[in-house]
Amino acid sequence: MKTSMKLYESVKDIWNSYYEHPFVKGIGEGNLEIDKFKFYMIQDYIYLLDYAKVYALGVIKSSEESIMQGFSNMVDNILNGEMNIHRHYMKKIGIKKEEIENAKASIENISYTSYMLSVSQMGDLMDLTTSLLACMWSYYLIGKKLSKIEGSLDNEFYGQWIKGYISSDYEKETKWVIDLLDYLTENISEKKFNRLKEIFINTSKYEYMFWDVAYNEGM
């Protein structure tokens, strides 16, 4: 079994809990309060700025040109692709640029991004790639799950959010990260796998905390 699937098996219960979270269910059912989504969008915008920095570190840590190009492309995809979804909603909700600039990251947000940056700076390319994967992969699976809810894709407000995470471009980007991890860990030791498993479980828990704070703080 490839490393990515072994890691997935280790967090399956955590990821399944995302689908039942009231924030995620609210997006799929189209009844999530706008104030909660607004809080989430601002926090996620802040998060993505640091998330892109981890990909940038991937360029520095890579020794193969093709991998460097891949990480470079991912930085561009986040800053000029995924964040465009956020910019669309910010305009739709009426979030002004100054509001984002003056917003403070939640403690959960700070803790999550600090953990990823620490793992990526102190560890090797396997550690770095693993720290990125939970966010990328789980959002794709959440998008797929929500897209099966009747009428979710046609929802005039949340439909575009779901479509963004099941798009062919996002699927391709997610697959690149998964394939890279499997390539890097082809001959991984048990000790190293256990370290990656720890990182993957921790980031998966942080993902749940992110949904939680968005639902509870955006009141």
pLDDT in tens, 53-79: 999 999 999 999 999 999 999 999 998
pLDDT in tens, 151-185: 999 998 999 999 999 999 999 999 999 999 999 99
- Whether the pLDDT of residue 109 is over 60: the answer is yes
- Known catalytic residues are 135, 207
Distance CA 37, CA 32 (A): 7
Distance CA 94, CA 147 (A): 26
Residue type, 64: E
DSSP per-residue string spanning 164-200: HHSSHHHHHHHHHHHHHHHHHTTT--HHHHHHHHHHH
Structure token digits, residue 122 = 């102190």
- Could you tell me the residue range of the domain that residue 158 belongs to? 3-217
Name the pTM for this structure: 0.94
The tally of domains found in the chain comes to 1
pLDDT in tens, 20-33: 999 999 999 999 99
Distance CA 191, CA 53 (A): 27
CATH for 176: 1.20.910.10
